[in-house]
Structure 1
Amino acid sequence: MKPPFFEILAYEPTDLGMLCLRRRELLCEPGTIVTEVTLNHEFLMSSYLTASEKALSEIALQMHSGSSLRVLIGGLGLGYTSWTALESDRVSQCEVLEFLPQVINWLKQDMIPLSGKLNADNRLTITQSDIYQQLASPPDKRYDLILIDVDHSPDEKLDDGNGHFYTAEGLQRAKLHLEENGVLGIWSYAESPRFADALHEVFREVRIEPVTVFNNLINEQQTDWLFFARD
């Protein structure tokens, strides 16, 4: 019997630990090839289930009725949040801040599934930077949508230095980067009542959206959580 396909595309040290980009055939779905990212040998993201990453952009766009929207995204990942934003003709500019230069290079080198589409869209700019540091600083420009998919959850962060963002004080600073009627959106793999309370303290409207899918890899349903806020 032919062994399932498995390929390591990149295995690189980063400031957060060992980062791996791999491509493999799913044992539960022979013939289905997925691209996955691990950090310090722990699963981080996959091209297999992307509903919640897409919904982060989709719901934020539904919440904003404007046009010529300027979007700021924290975390490039495999690009599904960015591409979903760019699929809207109401988006005039999409700026992505990615902390890890290795992830940016994967896109430039056409190593992720959406590379072709993303590299061809001149509305997209990608900068190696820390989204949390930028939102903690006084704004030099403002955005209609700010979407963040970096940490596992507000209570399980990739870097402890990100923690201040999830407080009322941190959210107040981030709010200054939003245009009038702007929407802030945050991805999480878990609920966080503490973070929800901080959002309610700072914003007039808070919306929490669970996104549930059936994961064949573990043979059970899984739910990610999206937090949205605006004034």
Structure 2
Amino acid sequence: MKPPFFEILAYEPTELGILCLRRRELLCEPGTIVTEVTLNHEFLMSSYLTASEKALSETALQMHSGSALHVLVGGLGLGYTAWTALESDRVSHCEVIEFLPQVIHWLEQGLIPLSDKLNADHRLNVTQSDVYQRLASPPKQKHDLILIDVDHSPDDNLDKANSQFYTVDGLQRAKLHLEADGLLGVWSYAESSRFVDALHEVFREVRIEPVTVFNNLINEEQTDWLLFARD
């Protein structure tokens, strides 16, 4: 019997720990090949279930009626949030801020599933930096949409320094980077009443969107949470 396909594409140390990019065939769906990322040997993201990452851009675009939009995405990951934004002809520019240079190299080397599409789109600019530091600093430019998909949740951060963003003070600083009719969107794997309270204190309108899918890998439904805010 032929063993399932498994390939390590990258395995490298980073400031946050050991980062691994792998490609494998699913045991539950023979013939289905997925790309996955682990950090310190813990699962981080996959190309198998991407509905919530896509919905972060889709819902934000539905909520904003403007055109020639400037979008800022915090976290490149496997590129699904950025690419979904770029699929809209109402987006004129999309900047992705990615903390780990290794992840940017994966895109440049064509190792992630959306590499060809992303690398060919002239509207995309990928910057190696800390999106939280950017949003905590005085704005040099403003954005119509700011979409954050970096941490597991507002209460479960990849780096403890990120926690400041999820406070009233952090959100007030981030809000300065939005255009007058701009929108902030944040991805989370869990609800966070503390963060929702902070959003309500800083913004006039807060919208919470659960995204539920059936995960064949664990044979149960799972829900991610999208949190949007604007004035």
Instruction: State TM-score, norm by structure 1.
Output: 1.00
Structural mapping, 1:184-203, within 5 Å: 184-203=184-203
Paired with 2:133 and 2:74, the residues of 1 have a C-alpha distance of 11
| C-alpha deviation, 1:27, in angstroms | 0.3
Counterpart code for 1:193: S
**How big is the shift at 1:93?**
0.2
By how many angstroms is 1:23 displaced? 0.1
**AA matched with 1:74:** G
Aligned to 1:190, what secondary structure does the other structure show? coil
The corresponding residue for 1:175 is 175
In structure 1, the partner of 2:95 is 95
Deviation digits for residues 123-166 of structure 1, max 9, x if unmatched? 00000000000000000000000000000000000000001100
CA offset digits 1:79-101 (Å, max 9, x no partner): 00000000000000000000000
- Output the amino acid matched with 2:36: E
Query: 1:69 and 1:176 mapped to 2: Cα distance?
Result: 17
In structure 2, the partner of 1:105 is 105
Which consecutive unaligned segments of at least 5 residues does structure 1 have? none
Tell me the distance in 1 between the aligned counterparts of 2:131 and 2:201.
22
Deviation at 1:191, TM superposition (A): 0.3
- SS of equivalent to 1:212: strand
Q: CA deviation at 1:22?
A: 0.0
Query: Which residue of 2 is the match for residue 206 of structure 1?
Result: 206
Identity %: 83
Counterparts of 1:163 and 1:51 in 2: how far apart (Å)? 25
Q: Which residue of 2 aligns with 1:85?
A: 85
Map 1:106-125 → 2, pairs under 5 A = 106-125=106-125
Q: How many corresponding residue pairs?
A: 231
Q: How many angstroms does 1:53 deviate by?
A: 0.1
Residue 60 of structure 2 aligns to a residue whose secondary structure is helix
Aligned partner of 1:9 in structure 2 is: 9
TM-score by length of 2: 1.00
List alignment gaps of at least 5 residues for structure 2: none
1:126 aligned counterpart, secondary structure: strand
